Structure 1
Amino acid sequence: MDLRQLRYFQAIAETGSISAAAQRLNVAQPALSLHLRNMEEHLGTKLLLRGARGVKLTEAGEMLLARARRLLIDMSRLEDDIRNLGREPQGDVRLGLPGTIGGILSPDLVLAAKAQLPGVRLTISEAMSGFVLDWLREGRVDLAVLYLPATDARFRSELLLQEELVLLVPPGHDISAEIEASALLDLPLILPGPAHGLRQLLEGWARARGIRLAVNIELDSYQNIKELVERGKGVSILPLHAVAREAAAGTLKVVRWHAADCLREVYLVGPLAEASSHACAAVMSLLRELMRKQVQGERWTGTRWLGASVFDSTV
């Protein structure tokens, strides 16, 4: 097999059909089918199952796709690094962000990248943190900001900051400005669903204090959660930065914890130093510095900076 065959196979797997892949690649469909047949004969196994709705990967096909993505990414980085040796960073960098962080970072990051890294084509995709981690593992993004470190040996995770999580109540609520965690026993909660990273963190935090959260309503949308709290349908626990605007306007009330120990960590996750492209390393450095400035300039409300200004490649 060669890299061209791997690119062809990746396109077929990602589009779900040979005809769609042929259009994407601008390659004749019979030629693409021949390449696929030659790969299957070479490997001695079926890679795809053809059906009326397109193609489906076999177990061998899934394995090949995962390895092919990594090989093609590594080759692209190698080519970029050699071409750009001694020059300004150039190439494509794909960044994955949780939606709540994207709202803070994306506009400033896009503008900073255009000004400081004109040769880099930055693409930002947003989803829940768990999905972003899957994208990173599958090679769909090169870098990510996550709420948990990646345990995979292929990646390095750098703890950059902590977010304060606060109790959110309707504006007329008579609760104290600071409470103990045990006060949650008497409060009806509106929280994200069990699969959401914030919900899992809060369940663990409460369990460590002998508390069982009384969740009455489950919603993954922060905006909808805030609206229901404002209507008096319950209370919630969210990052301070996500509710700072409403708290300042008086439409919601923020309550802090006596112990100040309800926190969420934020990590910058990317490839190991030896596997990182010049462009990827430059975006990591820019992203880190932008996050530091936003925290220390109090644009990212309720956070504490834990990282360094200059990245230590041994991390």
Structure 2
Amino acid sequence: MDLRPAPPPPERLARNLDWNLLRTFLVLAEARSITDAADRLGLKQPTVSAALKRLETHLGKRLIERGPGRFELTAAGKLLQREAIDIHGSVLRLGTLIRDVSDEVRGHVRIAMASHVVCPVFDAALAAFHSAHPHATLSVDVAASKDGLAAVLGRRASLGVCLVHDKSPRLEYRRLYREFFGLFCGPGHPLFGKTGLTKADLVGLPSVSFVTDRMSDALRPVTLMRAEARLEDRVVGTSAHLEEVRRMIIAGLGIGPLPVHVVRRDIEDGLLWQLPPYDQVPAIDVHVVWNPKAAMNRAESALLEELLARIEATPIEERTYL
């Protein structure tokens, strides 16, 4: 027989629930054990254990199954984690929203950016935004696209400029631009400078790539291109940052994929050499992503509006770079 108390009425739960319990639970949900969570929070293990028990008592549900070699969220725990992420994001933003109340648009915009985004439409939107709202501030955090999307979902970032594989129903997306990836080698590579090459010349050669170059991730078309070239299965080096993949290619670690329009200058300067396939290279879309449930400050809303207006006004042909 389940002797745990029945879930309390919503009004009483909202009145009695301590926000600090939810904050502690979010850390627990990402931890490997109560001891691990206590270390992350800088608290003692019994304190964290007691907080979890109080939260489970408040909700009348077991949230984490724990025992020897077992520490995992229950169905109720997974649901609470999703909702608590939203609540946490809203609490974090309260100070910014209150501080931003004035006639002049102020506030801070945090952008989660994929590595080395080259897009004149985006640059023009930033310039127009700063010109119209000089007292607003910006920060750009470069990260792997999956981490940027997680930051937008968790309301730790105002918006993202990311590659997208599976679209979350909790986020909104607009395609910012389309780019095309080719395969390249550096000056020290045996194929550098050679013409008349075919994909057969690439068979079995070592490669480097992005961490998202996987069948289950955003660069799936690039993965297929590498597979069709029959490069060596083992990838010598990976990075989430385009600059580091470029560095490894130039240094001669292996053949690797890069956006053609981004490395045009490197090709002209003799730092990179494009390899087959030359036709039907994979197209990758880069999106602007935001959380429609996030309470944006005025600066965030202004920049998003500027971006969306420019995307709408610019045909996709002019936002396609090869």
TM normalised by structure 1 equals 0.63
Corresponding residue for residue 268 of structure 1: 288
Go from structure 1 to structure 2 and tell me whether the alpha carbon gap of 1:82 and 1:174 turns closer, same or farther (over 3 Å shift): closer
User: Does residue 208 of structure 2 align to residue 191 of structure 1?
Assistant: yes
Contact 2:152 2:291 in 1 (8 A): no
2:170 equivalent in structure 1 = 154
Which secondary structure does the structure 2 equivalent of 1:203 belong to?
helix
TM-superposed deviation, 1:270: 0.9
Matched to 2:319, the amino acid is W
* Partner SS for 2:271: coil
Could you state the TM-score of these two structures normalised by the residue count of structure 2? 0.62
Maintained 8 Å contact 2:170/2:291: yes
After superposition, the C-alpha distances for 1:212-245 in whole angstroms (9 at most, x for unaligned) are: 5313543213455445544555432211355344
Cα deviation code 1:86-117 (max 9, x no counterpart): 84445554322223339999999999876654
Question: Is the 8 Å Cα contact of residues 95 and 142 (structure 1) preserved in structure 2?
Answer: yes
* Residues 223 and 49 of structure 1, relative CA distance in 2, 3 Å threshold: same
1:26 paired residue number: none
Q: Distance in 1 between matches of 2:223 and 2:269?
A: 30
1:214 corresponds to 2:231 = yes
2:114 matches 1:98:
yes
Query: Identity percentage over the alignment?
Result: 19
RMSD: 4.9
Q: Distance in 2 between matches of 1:93 and 1:263?
A: 29
The secondary structure found in structure 2 opposite 1:192 is strand
Q: Which residue of 2 aligns with 1:39?
A: 55
> Contact conserved, 2:89 with 2:156, CA < 8 A, in 1?
no
Structure 1 position 253, deviation (Å): 2.3
1:243 aligned partner, one-letter code = V
How many equivalent residue pairs? 280
Give the equivalent residue in structure 1 for 2:38. Answer: 17
Preserved CA contact (<8 Å) 1:12 1:20:
no
Structure (1 or 2) with the greater helix fraction: 1
How far apart are the structure 1 equivalents of 2:94 and 2:308? 24
Alpha-carbon distance between aligned partners in 1 of 2:281 and 2:99, rounded to the nearest angstrom: 48
Partner of 1:313: none
Alpha carbons 2:209, 2:256 under 8 Å: kept: no
* Number of the residue aligned with 2:160: 144
Q: Residues 127-164 of structure 1: CA distance to partner in whole angstroms, max 9, x if unpaired? A: 21123223333444342111126522222111111123
Question: Structure 1: any 5+ residue segments left out of the alignment?
Answer: 23-28, 297-302, 307-315
> 1:96-245 alignment to 2 at 5 Å?
96-101=112-117, 116-117=132-133, 120=136, 122-148=138-164, 151-171=167-187, 173-176=192-195, 183-187=198-202, 188-192=205-209, 195-196=212-213, 197=217, 200-205=220-225, 211-215=228-232, 217-221=235-239, 222-223=242-243, 225-232=245-252, 234-245=254-265
How far apart, in 2, do the equivalents of 1:131 and 1:117 lie?
A: 28
Change (3 A) 1:165 1:57: same
